[in-house]
Amino acid sequence: MVGRTPLVRIKKLSDETGCDILAKAEMCNGGGSVKDRAAYYLIKDALTKKKLKPGGTVVEGTAGNTGIGLAHMCLAMGFKCVIFMPNNQSQEKIDMLKTLGAAVHPVPVVPWDDPNNYNHQAKRFADATENACWMNQFDNRANKLAHIETTGPEIWSDTGGKVDAVTFGSGTGGTVSGVGTFLKEKNSKIKVVLADPQGSVLYNYFTYGKLERTPGNSITEGIGQGRVTENMKDAPIDQARAVMDVDAVNMTFRLLHEEGLFVGASTGLNVHSAYEVAKEMGPGHTIVTCLCDTGQRHFVLSILIASNTIEPIHSCHRQRRVKIFFGRICPAIMRIHNRG
């Protein structure tokens, strides 16, 4: 069960801005995230090109959700699944992968150009294993095609073609590039906005043409990049927005207390960007983003709950607890995320 996810209206933010802020509820995919779309297309591409045969092994380097999507597909289609991932990802994601039958190899966090980067380790493993195929989600354009053929058309259909802007974060680049490509073909005036976390190069690349990281590191999982992937190279980006962690996390609080949506920081980043785009464009516009997955998969949100940092409901309380989170809890999380 992949695709045809609901398009939900974020009521409070929409009412505040006079716009319709809409979000694809991607946690409604069978594997629980937007990455199910790419996972299906990556396996389909490998089968079409005869790189993967019945009973074979699917291998990928992933920060979590793509791996979960692939593991679901492998169970349904009779393949084995092996995942290499950075060892700064949430235990919840690792446990989920193992429950789904995947072999998981957490490896130290090193840059892309290091031969021990988790993606390169995944490729070497696949190359050395009979009837195994590395999915290569970052640079395999089947990822982007998933969103050209499914997410983009769904947004166009669900809005009746009345969409003024879309905004998404980027890890592999498949979602923002694929959706943007499809919608621009329908209406070139639709604005495509990249939401980029701190510590990523993409804001500076699309704003100034420079591959320079913005200051700091981010607690968001699975988005932000240190390079321009193949899926992003021809992305029709009209604007890039740099989103601070404090704004992404604050938006997760708002979505929980105002909409009853328990989501992770990557979704907080998306919706914060949509909110800012709505304020910038003014009343009467329709802005679409996505809810990537649920908060249960995120280490950060688990800590918020366990520490009773999430409490209802008043804005002053929420703002105070976001400050407590970044003053006391976030430094410990960042030490974990930056290890290795």
Beta strands 57-61 and 132-134, pairing class: parallel
Q: Cα-flanking dihedrals φ and ψ of residue 75, to 5°?
A: -60, -45
> Which one from 24, 35, 93, 144 is the annotated catalytic residue?
35
| Two structure tokens written together for 105 | 């190899």
Instruction: Report the distance separating Cα 249 and Cα 260, nearest Å.
Output: 15
Question: What is the chain's Cα-based Rg?
Answer: 19
Outline where DSSP puts E strands in the chain. 7-9, 20-25, 57-61, 80-86, 103-107, 132-134, 165-169, 191-197, 239-243, 286-291
Question: What residues does 20 pair with on adjacent strands?
Answer: 286
| Two structure tokens written together for 188 | 């070139």
Identity of residue 209: G
Three-state DSSP at 138 gives coil
CA 284 to chain centre: 28
**DSSP alpha helix (H) spans, 23-151:** 35-48, 65-77, 91-99, 118-127, 142-146
Q: Is 162 among the residues known to form the active site?
A: no
Three-state DSSP at 106 gives strand
Q: Give residue 101's region: left, alpha or beta (phi > 0; psi -120 to 50).
A: left
| Two structure tokens written together for 149 | 């053929």
The residues assigned a catalytic role are 35
